[in-house]
Chain A
């Protein structure tokens, strides 16, 4: 029991370090961005000209939102707030960052989770289709498909889907996140992306496994069919490289979600991130960094658990290590 506690404690400590490091790195990097949130919020040149910009006294507003403190004070304020669970207020709308995150996260989580749920089985199916069928043409097609899809820009596919399924056929709404129908197209775009990425890794894994002795010689010799070999033996082994990249793929899926949210005009993390970076809304961007770092930590923990589940050897070794 103690080793479990110790492992969990070590993992938690690492998680805290990762999040703090991500926060700090982003904090100082963001100050390289030209201009500040106060300059972003005073207005566009359409409504306010260059002479007005020069005449405005902005220091008062800077002081109020905390931008006139020196960098170090701002940083320590940010860190202590973070430790208290307070992410501060948006420098643009002045709303609490946690509130803004609370508004967008459910939408993004629904979209990515649903896409993930669809894309994993779809990726496996594609991979099997790329190695199993007797027809060479079908195999080549199924193995080319993921690479082809991955090379298409997500926004382009998204716009294509909008034109085809929404504007031409009128099946689904082109924008917004109201109702279940609005989830269909964005989920389709994203889960196809996820499936294609997973399939790419799985296909190469499966090919290696199918060529190895146990699959090519031993299993057939014992009378196992090709299908049985693939499912019972190769798929599990091929899943290791898949798991290894799973965490990274989640990152790409989130990146894809940002684009998809923009194309489908959905409330979400993506829109908030793009708008906040453009407006140099430091507190909101940092809040998003914390959330994303948290997601990475959790995903990596899940990947570790996945390894343990897939490979009994790891479980045994872990216990031995624990006894040292």
Chain B
């Protein structure tokens, strides 16, 4: 382990101090009336949960929601993309986003009594680095880390070999939430056992019911909530019960009957019903990330021609697709979802023009064949869309696209694959379209899907990563989204990624940029 000399402060030449000047979150929708009630139990369900709630491997939105109560992060990411103090009272980023220096609070302890200091933070990150591909998502987000140094007990410095302006967002996530040294010392398999996860959060894991869920209880001496939180003391809720109910429709019925307070992952029919249900609120803002749609494999025969891709995008009538979808889906306005802090409205680039689509295909030499599918030199315009089982509920909408494409002589086949097979197909390039979705409130969310296909776009992605300033990143993000839409690497369908639904007796006053609620402020009305 290389140790850097204690001269970090010298590098702060043109340092952008992003520290604590970020009051007032952007979200207006979650304004809460009434005064918080102490006590009570929040019953939560997310799809796909298992025994493990290791923050570093719990990378999906729904499963990460309760983990937010268990671990704190260095900074708090607000809905407008800015950052607020949390475990770190102050931080500095150098001008090309390769060095991050955090100054830690001095009064924080983990629930097992261990002290949260620079050494603990270092151990927490180092455990993930050492795990390599076992913590694939965490390590992709951390980037090219070269060293973590601790000049003093309350200062921790991350040095990166390549710029990563997304590091603060990563550091704010549950995935990189800080765990106690005792947890950091555990081998991978013991971290997956649940109760081994010790954090400094407002809740403590008390009981594991194996695959069926777990229970968090309030920590009475909690006093280091993120700055934007109204409640700086111990949480209002007594307990959070996580129930891993497998079936979406049973879970939805439990929410209706009051067996659950908060729910993630809802079938389209239930979404529509919740939107009209007087007892239930379903959030209408899509999760921040990239819009939902088809991401093209530009090496696939046919899709290597930008005009073919453009024609396919022009042939999609999104109003018809949305009419078939649930009541809360909205048209896409860019490659990012409208709730992403780095979103810019580019809805003029997402059009429907079937005549132009036909003209483009004709001009490219794709002539209608005897089976109704266009072909050129024996090659047919027939494409397969691949996705994981979590996308199955979108299939009725995909079928609408299928029939729209059929009208211009293009065949679309689609079907879900297991995660293993999907990743294999993506890795080997054996697909025409993948289901484009990404849930990260960051400008960098597009790179993992559209990186490496266009040099100009790659340059923009690199510029994003080297630009720590939020306004600067937003301008670059708009450019990336523009290229992606102009080149039709991406055919957006609608702006929607599974939001939370909750009973009106449940109050979630503060959300972080990921739309994960801050559970220290959450409360449920008394009976």
A residues at B contact (CB < 8 Å) = 33-54, 56-58, 60-61, 89-90, 93-95, 103-104, 159, 162-163, 167-168, 170, 174-178, 262-263, 265-267, 271-272, 275, 278-280
Contacts and interface: CB of A to CB of B under 8 A. Distances in A.
Interface residues of B, number: 64
A167 B253 contact: yes
B212 A177 contact: yes
B421 A35 contact: yes
A49 B421 CA distance: 14
B423 A39 contact: yes
B243 A44 contact: no
Given A47-B59, A47-B137, 19 more contacts: A34-B425, A39-B421, A42-B423, A43-B137, A45-B422, A46-B60, A47-B440, A49-B438, A49-B447, A50-B297, A51-B452, A56-B133, A94-B187, A162-B250, A168-B257, A175-B243, A265-B212, A278-B389, A278-B418
B259 A167 contact: yes
Given A39-B419, A45-B435, A47-B137, A267 B211 contact: yes
Contacts, number: 188
B426 interface: yes
A265 B246 contact: yes
Interface stretch (B8-16, B66-74, B188-196, B339-347): B188-196
Nearest to B187: A94
Nearest to B256: A167
A266 B192 CA distance: 19
Interface in B439-461: 439-440, 447-452
Contact of B449 (A50, A56, A167, A267): A50
B427 A46 contact: no
B372 interface: no
B210 interface: yes
Interface of B: 50-52, 59-61, 132-134, 136-137, 140, 187-189, 192-193, 209-213, 243-247, 249-250, 253-254, 256-257, 259, 289, 295, 297, 387-390, 417-427, 434-435, 437-440, 447-452
Contact of A50 (B187, B390, B426): B426
A176 to B, nearest CB: 5
Contact of B426 (A53, A104, A159): A53
Contacts of A50: 295, 297, 426-427, 434, 448-449
A72 B91 CA distance: 54
A40 B420 contact: yes
Nearest to A170: B257
22 contacts: A34-B417, A34-B420, A43-B136, A44-B388, A46-B61, A46-B437, A48-B59, A48-B136, A49-B451, A51-B449, A51-B452, A60-B132, A89-B189, A93-B51, A94-B187, A94-B189, A95-B189, A104-B211, A167-B250, A175-B250, A178-B209, A278-B418
Nearest to B59: A47
Contact of A159 (B50, B51, B187, B247): B247
